[in-house]
A and B are shown apart, each in its own frame.
Chain A
Amino acid sequence: MQTLLTAQQLQLTLNRLVHQLLEGEEDLRDIVFIGIQPRGVPVGNRMMELAAQLHPDKNIQYGILDITFYRDDIREELHIPKTTTLPFSIEGKKVILIDDVLYTGRTIRAALDALQDFGRPNKVELCVLVNRRFNRELPIQPDYCGISIDTVSSQKVKVLLDSQEVVLY
């Protein structure tokens, strides 16, 4: 097992991402953040804590999205759905999708389909903590990215929540 980001580096990376996301955003009314179930949610949660520290007086719109019903491998393996909570309209807003690892791109494809059922956003951007550059199966790239790594498909990348590390194994 190889550590990609230590707890301290992870903290710095998340901080940088949050600054990038909020850079030049005067008014947060037209921007919404959405963590993708299951593993994008803890990453999103941490980023939103940091965002709230930067803008303590502003209301940050944050929701979670489950993409189970939009998966393209539903016939191969049945997944039990998780909660979706989007307590705001995304119509005409800038949506920033947050996930832990970008790999094949299929989750994001499903998330884009799911978003359409909630309205027509003005713009959708993608923020990931780890970008696994190889093995992409769809033409999807991140707009904001913590670290980019080169891996083979037999390896796995995981964000360990208890020790707050990102590891490759």
Chain B
Amino acid sequence: MQLTTKHLLGIKELSPSDISTILSTAEQFKEVLQRPIKKVPSLRDVTIVNLFYENSTRTRISFELAEKRLSADTINFTASGSSVSKGETLLDTVNNILSMKVDMVVMRHSASGAPHFLAKHLPDTSIINAGDGINEHPTQALLDAFSIIEKTGSLAGKKILLIGDIMHSRVALSNIYLLKKMGAEVMLSGPPTLIPVHIKKALDVQVEYNLKKALKWCDVANVLRIQLERQNQVLFSSLREYNLSYGVSKKILSEIDREIVIMHPGPINRGVEIDSDVADSNQSIILQQVENGVAVRMAVLYLLSGRQS
């Protein structure tokens, strides 16, 4: 059984059965990561290039670890210090790398649709999207789903709340696609300036601008990062004010009669979207998300590496 796709461009392009296959395969890789020797020889003959045109800590380390634990050969490429600064185009850069016999490309790019562009021009190479602009971040949504299932048992029927900058968040969009496909209910909360007006209708989600009401509704709250680099767009007045209205604090959680699961894709702005005592509490699964990221990425690489039978 294979995935219905050769690339992982976004959750939008995956079928529910693809998602289930990836998640159940990830479960087996999680077991591999508990072994004394956390490495399997599956991708011994595969070379993968990690093309990072945008900064990243977690995703890059996670992909690199996943590749190494599958015994793949890896090359890391960062835009700074490369010929990109001499004006080489994306397609030229990738074609040059591929002519040195590389089998798969993991790419993060600040332009939405960059991996789709590559996939169109390079049909024989598997392209894995590690985040493109404000479009999608599929492996993050997959690891979030894996972590929710691990913590609560299932996705179907679960009430998941996404809080924060929905408009600029590729994590949010991938999460919405995935959760809807797997039968979960999705609610968005955040300042009206950060939630696209038509998203309710377009993606069949609920919107609740009052954080306390939203938290009361949900089983799991995924707190998104406020992108400090977008501060100059004046979408909310100050970080302090954002924290007062939409920051997840111990106080607001204590006003809810049950314990909800708290998630965050990182990097955390402590004291802005989430307070330290919540991020470090027992109901937060933030570090489990990071741990599961390696297993989920191993599953994606493994399932996309199989050549056509």
Contacts and interface: CB of A to CB of B under 8 A. Distances in A.
A23 interface: no
A81 interface: yes
Nearest to B46: A75
The residue in B1, B24, B41 that gathers the most chain A C-beta atoms within 10 A of its C-beta is B41
B35 interface: yes
B36 A70 contact: no
Contacts of B32: 69, 84
Nearest to B31: A84
B28 A83 contact: yes
A75 B306 contact: yes
B167 interface: no
Interface residues of B, number: 24
A47 to B, nearest CB: 23
B35 A118 contact: yes
Interface string A81-99: 1111100000000000000
A131 B208 CA distance: 65
A30 B58 CA distance: 42
30 contacts: A68-B28, A69-B40, A69-B41, A69-B42, A69-B302, A70-B40, A74-B42, A74-B306, A75-B45, A75-B306, A76-B307, A76-B309, A77-B309, A78-B1, A78-B306, A78-B309, A80-B24, A81-B25, A81-B28, A81-B29, A83-B27, A83-B31, A84-B28, A84-B31, A113-B41, A116-B37, A117-B36, A117-B37, A117-B39, A119-B36
* Chain A residues touching B, majority SS: loop
Given A69-B40, A117-B36, A117-B37, A77 B306 contact: yes
A122 B22 CA distance: 36
A64 to B, nearest CB: 11
A116 B119 CA distance: 38
Interface string B265-309: 000000000000000000000000000000000000011011101
B21 interface: yes
A138 B40 CA distance: 21
B2 interface: yes
Contacts of B45: 75
Chain B interface mostly helix, strand, loop or mixed?
Answer: loop
A66 interface: yes
Nearest to A89: B36
Given A78-B2, A84-B31, 11 more contacts: A68-B28, A69-B40, A69-B302, A74-B42, A78-B303, A78-B306, A78-B309, A81-B25, A83-B28, A117-B40, A118-B37
A117 B32 CA distance: 9
Nearest to B303: A78
Nearest to A85: B31
Contacts of A80: 1, 21, 24-25
A34 to B, nearest CB: 14
A117 B1 contact: no
Contacts of B40: 69-70, 117
